Structure 1
Amino acid sequence: MKVPNGHYDNDQLSVLSAALILTCKELDISGTDDVIRERIAVQLLALAQSEPCDPESLSAKAVEQFRNPLRATPINRVA
């Protein structure tokens, strides 16, 4: 499922939420580290807009980019 920028339905939110949980678990990030979790969530949103995704592949890409920031997908900020 490709996730558009802006509004998200329940299925899209479920994919993003599951990807966030998987990514934080893989990177050993606690539920109380809000700054890092927000950074990961923003990265997941950017990745989800670029191609069809499922929680596992989205998480794998986020983990790779978090560990190798020079390969990260640029984040388009909305003004």
Structure 2
Amino acid sequence: MPDVFDPAKESWAHERAELQTLLDEASYDAAQRTTINAHYTDPAYVREIWSALDALGFDGGTVLEPDPEREPSSVLLLNLPT
């Protein structure tokens, strides 16, 4: 979705103009900044997930994680220390 904020992408000009009318300058700038890392999970969620896994007794091993840069069916294998 970052293309909507790229003035060189004419195919998004209509959407970009609409966003600029709907958002004030600060909100538009904030929305534009979030597209850089929008695929990342908020660290607060990650901490809670790992806390829950720790409480369930997980102390290391292989973890499957979706890779946002590839196809939705793609996963990363993370080998965590045991």
Same fold (TM over 0.5): no
Instruction: Say which structure, 1 or 2, has more relative contact order (CA 8 Å, 6+ apart).
Output: 1
**Larger strand proportion, structure 1 or 2?**
2
Greater Rg by CA: 2
Give TM-score scaled by structure 1 length: 0.29
